[in-house]
Protein backbone atom coordinates (compact mmCIF):
# COMPACT_ATOMS: atom_id res chain seq x y z
CA UNK A 1 0.00 0.00 0.00
CA UNK A 2 1.52 3.33 -1.04
CA UNK A 3 0.16 6.86 -0.84
CA UNK A 4 1.59 10.35 -1.23
CA UNK A 5 0.70 13.82 0.00
CA UNK A 6 2.33 17.27 -0.34
CA UNK A 7 3.96 18.28 2.96
CA UNK A 8 7.23 19.81 4.15
CA UNK A 9 7.71 21.66 0.88
CA UNK A 10 7.87 18.43 -1.11
CA UNK A 11 5.87 15.31 -1.99
CA UNK A 12 5.94 12.76 0.83
CA UNK A 13 5.29 9.11 -0.05
CA UNK A 14 4.61 6.33 2.44
CA UNK A 15 4.63 2.64 1.52
CA UNK A 16 3.88 -0.22 3.91
CA UNK A 17 3.57 -3.98 3.53
CA UNK A 18 2.88 -7.01 5.68
CA UNK A 19 -0.57 -5.95 6.89
CA UNK A 20 -4.19 -5.87 5.77
CA UNK A 21 -5.24 -3.01 3.49
CA UNK A 22 -7.57 -1.46 6.07
CA UNK A 23 -4.82 -1.56 8.72
CA UNK A 24 -2.33 -0.14 6.25
CA UNK A 25 -4.62 2.80 5.50
CA UNK A 26 -5.06 3.55 9.20
CA UNK A 27 -1.31 3.39 9.77
CA UNK A 28 -0.60 5.69 6.84
CA UNK A 29 -3.32 8.12 7.94
CA UNK A 30 -1.72 8.39 11.37
CA UNK A 31 1.75 8.83 9.88
CA UNK A 32 0.56 11.64 7.60
CA UNK A 33 -1.11 13.39 10.54
CA UNK A 34 2.22 13.32 12.33
CA UNK A 35 3.99 14.79 9.31
CA UNK A 36 1.31 17.46 8.96
CA UNK A 37 1.78 18.41 12.61
CA UNK A 38 5.53 18.90 12.15
CA UNK A 39 4.89 20.91 8.99
CA UNK A 40 2.47 23.29 10.73
CA UNK A 41 4.72 23.73 13.77
CA UNK A 42 8.02 24.31 11.99
CA UNK A 43 7.15 25.98 8.71
CA UNK A 44 9.10 29.15 8.02
CA UNK A 45 6.25 30.41 5.83
CA UNK A 46 3.26 29.82 8.14
CA UNK A 47 2.55 32.96 10.19
CA UNK A 48 1.20 30.91 13.10
CA UNK A 49 3.97 28.29 13.30
CA UNK A 50 6.32 28.04 16.25
CA UNK A 51 9.19 29.06 13.99
CA UNK A 52 7.39 32.21 12.84
CA UNK A 53 6.47 33.15 16.41
CA UNK A 54 10.08 32.71 17.53
CA UNK A 55 11.35 34.79 14.61
CA UNK A 56 9.01 37.62 15.59
CA UNK A 57 10.10 37.54 19.23
CA UNK A 58 12.17 40.31 20.76
CA UNK A 59 15.33 39.64 22.75
CA UNK A 60 14.88 37.76 26.03
CA UNK A 61 11.18 37.17 25.41
CA UNK A 62 10.18 33.67 26.53
CA UNK A 63 8.10 31.81 23.93
CA UNK A 64 6.43 28.50 24.75
CA UNK A 65 6.51 26.07 21.84
CA UNK A 66 5.22 22.58 21.14
CA UNK A 67 7.24 19.71 22.56
CA UNK A 68 8.18 18.66 19.01
CA UNK A 69 9.64 22.07 18.19
CA UNK A 70 11.47 22.07 21.50
CA UNK A 71 12.91 18.62 20.76
CA UNK A 72 14.09 19.64 17.29
CA UNK A 73 15.76 22.76 18.70
CA UNK A 74 17.44 20.65 21.37
CA UNK A 75 18.85 18.32 18.73
CA UNK A 76 19.81 21.26 16.51
CA UNK A 77 21.85 22.79 19.33
CA UNK A 78 23.54 19.44 19.93
CA UNK A 79 24.43 19.15 16.23
CA UNK A 80 25.81 22.70 16.33
CA UNK A 81 27.98 21.90 19.33
CA UNK A 82 29.25 18.68 17.71
CA UNK A 83 30.14 20.46 14.47
CA UNK A 84 31.69 23.58 16.05
CA UNK A 85 28.85 25.64 14.62
CA UNK A 86 29.03 24.38 11.03
CA UNK A 87 25.43 23.26 11.40
CA UNK A 88 23.39 26.20 12.63
CA UNK A 89 19.66 26.86 12.35
CA UNK A 90 20.11 30.63 12.82
CA UNK A 91 20.98 31.14 9.14
CA UNK A 92 17.57 32.48 8.15
CA UNK A 93 18.95 35.96 7.48
CA UNK A 94 21.47 34.60 4.97
CA UNK A 95 18.83 32.48 3.23
CA UNK A 96 16.56 35.50 2.97
CA UNK A 97 19.40 37.57 1.55
CA UNK A 98 20.08 34.85 -1.04
CA UNK A 99 16.36 34.71 -1.97
CA UNK A 100 15.72 31.19 -0.67
CA UNK A 101 13.35 32.41 2.03
CA UNK A 102 10.86 35.28 2.01
CA UNK A 103 11.53 38.32 4.15
CA UNK A 104 10.01 38.26 7.61
CA UNK A 105 9.47 42.01 7.35
CA UNK A 106 11.66 42.93 10.28
CA UNK A 107 14.79 45.05 10.11
CA UNK A 108 16.21 44.16 13.54
CA UNK A 109 17.54 40.70 12.68
CA UNK A 110 21.03 40.14 14.01
CA UNK A 111 23.57 37.73 12.69
CA UNK A 112 23.77 35.68 15.87
CA UNK A 113 24.37 31.96 16.26
CA UNK A 114 23.05 28.84 17.92
CA UNK A 115 24.69 30.01 21.14
CA UNK A 116 22.04 32.76 21.35
CA UNK A 117 19.27 30.16 21.71
CA UNK A 118 18.40 29.13 25.27
CA UNK A 119 16.02 26.31 26.10
CA UNK A 120 14.11 26.74 29.36
CA UNK A 121 11.79 24.38 31.28
CA UNK A 122 8.19 23.83 30.13
CA UNK A 123 9.14 23.94 26.43
CA UNK A 124 10.04 27.63 26.58
CA UNK A 125 12.62 29.18 24.27
CA UNK A 126 14.50 32.45 24.60
CA UNK A 127 16.62 34.23 21.99
CA UNK A 128 19.35 36.38 23.54
CA UNK A 129 19.17 38.66 20.52
CA UNK A 130 16.75 38.87 17.60
CA UNK A 131 17.40 35.89 15.35
CA UNK A 132 15.89 34.30 12.28
CA UNK A 133 15.87 30.52 12.50
CA UNK A 134 15.06 28.04 9.77
CA UNK A 135 14.50 24.39 10.71
CA UNK A 136 14.38 23.22 7.11
CA UNK A 137 17.71 21.43 7.53
CA UNK A 138 16.50 19.10 10.27
CA UNK A 139 12.69 19.17 10.68
CA UNK A 140 11.99 17.06 7.59
CA UNK A 141 14.14 14.24 8.95
CA UNK A 142 12.44 14.55 12.33
CA UNK A 143 9.03 14.28 10.66
CA UNK A 144 10.07 11.13 8.80
CA UNK A 145 11.31 9.56 12.04
CA UNK A 146 8.09 10.40 13.87
CA UNK A 147 5.98 9.00 11.02
CA UNK A 148 8.06 5.81 10.97
CA UNK A 149 7.41 5.34 14.68
CA UNK A 150 3.67 5.65 13.98
CA UNK A 151 3.83 2.97 11.31
CA UNK A 152 5.69 0.62 13.65
CA UNK A 153 3.17 1.23 16.42
CA UNK A 154 0.41 0.19 14.00
CA UNK A 155 2.17 -3.06 13.09
CA UNK A 156 3.80 -2.27 9.75
CA UNK A 157 6.41 -4.97 9.11
CA UNK A 158 8.06 -3.22 6.19
CA UNK A 159 7.88 0.49 5.42
CA UNK A 160 9.60 3.23 3.50
CA UNK A 161 8.95 6.95 3.80
CA UNK A 162 10.41 9.32 1.22
CA UNK A 163 10.14 13.04 1.86
CA UNK A 164 11.88 14.54 -1.15
CA UNK A 165 15.06 12.52 -0.69
CA UNK A 166 14.91 12.19 3.09
CA UNK A 167 14.20 8.48 3.36
CA UNK A 168 13.79 5.97 6.18
CA UNK A 169 13.44 2.22 5.66
CA UNK A 170 12.18 -0.21 8.30
CA UNK A 171 12.02 -3.98 7.91
CA UNK A 172 14.08 -6.90 6.69
CA UNK A 173 13.98 -6.20 2.97
CA UNK A 174 16.46 -3.92 1.26
CA UNK A 175 15.14 -0.97 -0.70
CA UNK A 176 16.93 0.22 -3.83
CA UNK A 177 17.16 4.02 -3.83
CA UNK A 178 18.10 6.11 -6.83
CA UNK A 179 20.09 9.22 -5.96
CA UNK A 180 19.12 12.46 -7.68
CA UNK A 181 22.68 13.50 -8.43
CA UNK A 182 23.87 15.43 -11.46
CA UNK A 183 25.93 12.96 -13.46
CA UNK A 184 28.08 13.45 -16.52
CA UNK A 185 28.02 9.73 -17.40
CA UNK A 186 25.30 7.22 -18.28
CA UNK A 187 25.65 5.55 -14.88
CA UNK A 188 22.80 6.05 -12.41
CA UNK A 189 23.88 6.24 -8.76
CA UNK A 190 21.89 3.76 -6.66
CA UNK A 191 22.25 2.45 -3.14
CA UNK A 192 20.49 -0.30 -1.21
CA UNK A 193 19.24 0.41 2.29
CA UNK A 194 17.92 -1.92 4.97
CA UNK A 195 16.58 -0.57 8.26
CA UNK A 196 18.17 2.84 8.21
CA UNK A 197 17.95 6.33 6.79
CA UNK A 198 19.45 8.30 3.95
CA UNK A 199 19.20 12.01 3.20
CA UNK A 200 20.49 13.87 0.18
CA UNK A 201 21.42 17.47 -0.54
CA UNK A 202 22.39 19.11 -3.81
CA UNK A 203 23.84 22.53 -4.39
CA UNK A 204 23.39 22.36 -8.16
CA UNK A 205 19.72 21.38 -8.34
CA UNK A 206 18.60 24.21 -6.06
CA UNK A 207 21.10 26.97 -6.79
CA UNK A 208 19.96 30.51 -7.58
CA UNK A 209 21.57 33.49 -9.22
CA UNK A 210 21.80 36.33 -6.73
CA UNK A 211 24.21 39.23 -6.14
CA UNK A 212 26.04 38.40 -9.41
CA UNK A 213 26.88 34.79 -8.44
CA UNK A 214 25.26 31.41 -7.79
CA UNK A 215 24.20 30.51 -4.27
CA UNK A 216 22.96 27.19 -2.97
CA UNK A 217 20.63 26.70 0.02
CA UNK A 218 23.40 25.45 2.32
CA UNK A 219 25.25 27.76 4.69
CA UNK A 220 28.45 27.32 6.65
CA UNK A 221 27.28 28.35 10.10
CA UNK A 222 30.79 29.33 11.17
CA UNK A 223 31.50 32.11 8.67
CA UNK A 224 28.08 32.27 6.91
CA UNK A 225 29.58 31.47 3.52
CA UNK A 226 27.69 29.38 0.93
CA UNK A 227 28.51 25.72 0.40
CA UNK A 228 29.75 24.64 -3.06
CA UNK A 229 26.98 24.61 -5.65
CA UNK A 230 28.49 21.79 -7.73
CA UNK A 231 28.35 19.19 -4.94
CA UNK A 232 25.93 16.36 -4.23
CA UNK A 233 25.91 14.60 -0.88
CA UNK A 234 23.97 11.75 0.66
CA UNK A 235 24.38 10.60 4.25
CA UNK A 236 23.40 7.21 5.64
CA UNK A 237 22.57 7.09 9.34
CA UNK A 238 20.30 5.30 11.80
CA UNK A 239 17.73 8.10 12.03
CA UNK A 240 16.54 10.39 9.28
CA UNK A 241 16.99 13.48 11.42
CA UNK A 242 20.68 12.68 11.87
CA UNK A 243 21.14 12.02 8.16
CA UNK A 244 19.25 15.21 7.28
CA UNK A 245 21.37 17.42 9.52
CA UNK A 246 24.69 15.85 8.52
CA UNK A 247 24.13 16.41 4.80
CA UNK A 248 24.50 20.14 5.46
CA UNK A 249 27.79 19.55 7.24
CA UNK A 250 29.22 17.37 4.46
CA UNK A 251 28.03 19.89 1.85
CA UNK A 252 30.18 22.50 3.57
CA UNK A 253 33.18 20.52 4.82
CA UNK A 254 33.52 17.78 2.24
CA UNK A 255 36.27 15.31 3.18
CA UNK A 256 36.83 17.11 6.45
CA UNK A 257 33.47 15.75 7.67
CA UNK A 258 34.84 12.30 8.54
CA UNK A 259 35.33 13.12 12.22
CA UNK A 260 31.77 14.38 12.56
CA UNK A 261 30.38 11.33 10.77
CA UNK A 262 32.33 9.18 13.22
CA UNK A 263 30.57 10.82 16.16
CA UNK A 264 27.18 9.76 14.83
CA UNK A 265 28.10 6.40 13.33
CA UNK A 266 27.17 7.69 9.88
CA UNK A 267 28.67 7.46 6.41
CA UNK A 268 28.40 9.68 3.35
CA UNK A 269 28.76 9.62 -0.42
CA UNK A 270 29.89 12.81 -2.10
CA UNK A 271 30.10 13.80 -5.73
CA UNK A 272 31.69 17.00 -6.99
CA UNK A 273 31.14 17.88 -10.66
CA UNK A 274 33.87 16.45 -12.86
CA UNK A 275 35.29 14.24 -10.11
CA UNK A 276 34.79 10.69 -8.91
CA UNK A 277 32.39 9.63 -6.22
CA UNK A 278 33.91 9.54 -2.76
CA UNK A 279 32.79 7.59 0.27
CA UNK A 280 33.31 9.15 3.67
CA UNK A 281 32.70 7.02 6.71
CA UNK A 282 33.74 6.63 10.30
CA UNK A 283 37.17 5.32 9.49
CA UNK A 284 38.32 6.50 6.10
CA UNK A 285 37.77 8.42 2.90
CA UNK A 286 37.87 6.42 -0.33
CA UNK A 287 36.93 6.54 -3.98
CA UNK A 288 33.51 4.95 -4.41
∠ CA 1-164-112, nearest 5°, is 140
Residues 102 and 207 grouped into a single domain = no
Which residues make Cβ contacts (< 8 Å) with residue 275, sequence separation at least 6? none
88 part of a folded domain: yes
Low-confidence ranges of the chain (pLDDT < 70): 105-111, 182-186, 282-288
Q: Give residue-wise pLDDT tens across range 235-264.
A: 999 999 999 999 999 999 999 999 999 999
157 part of a folded domain: yes
Residues 210 and 95 grouped into a single domain = no
**Residue 116's CATH number:** 1.10.3980.10
49 part of a folded domain: no
> What are the start-end ranges of the E strands in the chain?
2-7, 10-17, 63-64, 117-120, 124-127, 158-163, 166-170, 175-178, 190-193, 196-202, 208-210, 213-215, 231-237, 267-272, 278-280, 285-287
Q: Which helix (H) or strand (E) covers residue 69, if one does?
A: helix 67-82
51 part of a folded domain: no
Residues 150 and 21 grouped into a single domain = yes
Residues 185 and 248 grouped into a single domain = yes
Phi, psi angles (nearest 5°) of residue 139: -65, -35
In a 13 Å sphere around the CA of 7, the CA atoms on its Cβ side amount to: 28
Axis-axis angle for helices 240-253, 139-153 (nearest 10): 160
69 part of a folded domain: yes
Residues 82 and 152 grouped into a single domain = no
pLDDT of the residue at 187 = 74
Residues 270 and 181 grouped into a single domain = yes
146 part of a folded domain: yes
pLDDT of the residue at 110 = 62
Gyration radius of the chain over CA positions: 19
Residues 219 and 259 grouped into a single domain = yes
Q: How far is CA 139 from the centre of its chain?
A: 6
Residues 92 and 152 grouped into a single domain = no
50 part of a folded domain: no
Pairing of strands 124-127, 117-120: antiparallel
Range of the domain at 17: 1-44+136-162
Residues 40 and 141 grouped into a single domain = yes
Residues 181 and 268 grouped into a single domain = yes
Pairing of strands 158-163, 166-170: antiparallel
Residues 218 and 197 grouped into a single domain = yes
pLDDT of the residue at 286 = 45
Task: Give the number of domains in the chain.
Answer: 3
Burial class (CB in 10 A: 0-12, 13-18, 19+), 93: buried
Between the two ends of the chain, the Cα-to-Cα distance in Å is 34
Q: Give residue-wise pLDDT tens across range 179-199.
A: 887 665 667 888 999 999 999
Residues 1 and 141 grouped into a single domain = yes
148 part of a folded domain: yes
**Residue 195's CATH number:** 3.10.520.10
Amino acid sequence: MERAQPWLGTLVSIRVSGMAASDAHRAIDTAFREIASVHCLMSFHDHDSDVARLNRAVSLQSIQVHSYTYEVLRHAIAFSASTQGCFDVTVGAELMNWKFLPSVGRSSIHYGSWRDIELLPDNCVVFHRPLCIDLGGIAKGFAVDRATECLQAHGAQQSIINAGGDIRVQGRDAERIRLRAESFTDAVPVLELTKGSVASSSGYLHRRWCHERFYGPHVNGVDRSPAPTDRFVCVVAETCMTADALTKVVMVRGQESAAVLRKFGASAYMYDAGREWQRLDAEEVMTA
